[in-house]
Every structure is written in C-alpha cells, then in structure tokens.
Amino acid sequence: MDILVLGSTPVTPVETPPILSTAPLEFAEGQLIEATVQHVINSLIWLEVGGQTLIARTQIPLQVQQHVSLEVVEADPERLTFRVLN
C-alpha cells in the first residue's frame, strides 16, 4: 500500500515494531523478580522490570546495567518494598 504525502509523492510504509503493554505491573508479597538497573542518581535508581521502568530509592550501591534479583517484601497500594537477594 502507498501513502500519499505532500505533493502526492507515494511513500511505502515502514513496518513498525509492536507496541509493548503499558498495563501497570502487579506485585505480590513474596514474589521474586529480576530487574536491570538502568540509571542511578544518588539514592534513586531506575529499574527495568518486565519491559517497564520503576523508580526506587535504595541505600545499597548499585551500578548501571547491574542485574538484580529482588523479593517483594511489601506490596501495598501506597508502598512497594523490595529486598535485594544478590
């Protein structure tokens, strides 16, 4: 299929990647998850979990691209707490 763009120039559409789910992640106490540290600023870290990003505060020094195993310790609507296992 061609798409007409300004001046009726035919353009072949480019195949686009599928859209990833943006549904919120759900956690349960005792659940084990794997995460990758994406970014660190002081005590704030950005974690990639299941294709989504979580921002967390930590007192444990972590490095960008570090893979971490986490256990969900608290999973309330107001607070989510993890324990680093490795």
Structural domain including 31 reads 20-84
Q: For the segment 6-42, what is each residue's pLDDT rounded down to a tens digit? A: 444 444 444 544 445 556 778 899 999 999 999 999 9
Instruction: Give residues with Cβ within 8 angstroms of 11, minimum separation 6.
Output: 2, 3, 4, 5
Task: Number of helices (H) and strands (E) in the chain: give both, helices first.
Answer: 0, 7
Give me the CATH number covering residue 45: 2.40.50.140
Q: How many domains does the chain have?
A: 1
Separation between Cα atoms, residue 23 and residue 19, nearest integer Å: 12
Q: Residue 65 class from Cβ within 10 Å (0-12 exposed, 13-18 middle, 19+ buried)?
A: exposed
Residue 12 lies in a domain: no
Residue 14 lies in a domain: no
Residue 41 lies in a domain: yes
Separation between Cα atoms, residue 48 and residue 39, nearest integer Å: 10
The pTM assigned to this predicted structure is 0.68
pLDDT at 49 over 60: yes
Residue 8 lies in a domain: no
Q: For the segment 57-75, what is each residue's pLDDT rounded down to a tens digit? A: 888 999 999 999 999 998 8
